[in-house]
Chain A
Amino acid sequence: MILRANKKAAEQAAITRLADGSATEAERARLEAAVARSPELAAELAEQRRVVAMLASLDVGAPASLHQRLVAPEPPTARRRARPTSRIAIVTVVLIALLVFAIARPVGHANVRSVVAIALATGDGVPPGVSSHDHALLGVAIDRVAFPNWSTRGWRTSGSRIDTLGGQHVETVYYTAEGYERVGYAIVGGAALRITGARRAATRGGVSYWTIPDGRASVVTWRRDGHTCVLASRHAPVSALIALASVSA
């Protein structure tokens, strides 16, 4: 009885493998001979093959919206390098635009774009250590909003900087992890900044995460205790930034 059951199980395993082409040559030859002798086995094999073919022919692709949400920005090295003359022209135009912008703009006003630029810049400050009160946080905070400690997730702090934008303090901590480039996490002191030109990408635990289109980087912004936070990276995709941001929100 046990021998018969074992034989049946072995036959079924061989039929399973034969149906999807993963049987060895020896199994194939042996089973094909057995199938030729047994209409029951032939029916079982045909049934298995029909399901394999049906599932292999499923023509369903992920919606474009899902692809867009998951896609990572182009790495900077992939972009075409500008010629020196056009680079000078670009720098000149940018400087003029910044000058006009600075003159026209009322003093005392920061915006999310400038915080993004800081988050993507370099930080020469000392990498902050872990808070002595709470190991989930770093020992650096702005208006009592502390930066998260992601070391258990493989991210260590690599630098920091402090800036002032239109009278508002911006504290930034940079994190790095093996396999990724750097991620900049900026918290703006004082009143929250208006979010413009952003698209809501996700809501986690009641917090909305917004992504800002940027050809060079992934940018996510949200609010913690009424403060604007920005997480930006030239390499990590938006979904990874949201995952990190939601740890600390």
Chain B
Amino acid sequence: MAAAVRRGRYSRLVLDPDSLAAHTDRLYRAAWALCGSPHDAEDLVQETFARVLARPRILRGENELAYLMHALRNTFLSDRRKAARRPSIVATAIEDLPLEASDPRTAPEAALAASEVLAAVAQLEESFRLALIAVDIVGLSYAEAARALGTREATITTRLYRARQRLARQLAPTDREGTTPAVRLRDE
């Protein structure tokens, strides 16, 4: 996926812009879980790709997905910092494109359940949320997630354990009350 480029005596991997499209769906799910809204997720993914593509990127021993997760996190944090410094009316003015219908490939009931799961993930504490997104939604290994999030592998493991535990408990009560579950946890 990444293109090998020789420069001087060294061979390096440069992120291939054409290969980014293959990661859009996964990044979009991650972005949705990160910010809790499908529309904000669209903006976040577009902004992340725009930043990544603004200049050639060198992959230093990491895969494309890990690099994009790192970029997504940084864009999210930087956008949030910027939004906190300005009036809320400006925070929503990044795009004025018309809103379009969500992906027709997804059945409405599945989209509803998925949106509730992703909304629940978005409510987790940020460090737990990022670990969960990196490993369970984006599909990185623990080592890749640790590198993408700038922490240790052991920390990722601990955060992941707690994130899953909290998410399970957050989504469980409606099941126990016998009402229609907001999200049905699929048995293995």
Binding site for B on A (CB under 8 A): 9, 12-13, 15-17, 19-20, 22, 44, 47-67, 69-72, 75, 150, 153-155, 177-180, 200-204, 235-237, 239-240, 242-244, 247
Contact = CB atoms under 8 A, between A and B. Distances in A.
A38 B99 CA distance: 52
A201 B96 CA distance: 9
Nearest to A14: B157
A57 B106 CA distance: 12
Contacts of A64: 100, 103
B108 to A, nearest CB: 12
A84 B165 CA distance: 67
A242 B54 CA distance: 9
B14 A60 contact: no
B142 A60 contact: no
22 contacts: A13-B161, A19-B164, A22-B142, A47-B164, A54-B117, A55-B117, A55-B132, A58-B137, A59-B106, A60-B32, A65-B100, A66-B45, A70-B20, A70-B21, A154-B55, A178-B7, A179-B14, A179-B17, A203-B94, A239-B46, A240-B53, A244-B54
Query: Interface size for chain B: under 10, 10 to 19, 20 to 34, or 35 or more residues?
Result: 35 or more
B24 A153 contact: no
Contacts of B17: 72, 179-180, 235-237, 240
Nearest to B28: A62
A52 B164 contact: yes
Interface string B80-116: 0000000000000111110011110111001100110
B5 interface: yes
B54 A51 contact: no
Contact of A53 (B97, B137, B185): B185
Interface string B147-159: 0000000100110
A180 B158 contact: no
B79 interface: no
Contacts of A53: 185-188
Contacts of B118: 58, 60
B42 A66 contact: yes
Contacts of A15: 161
B35 interface: no
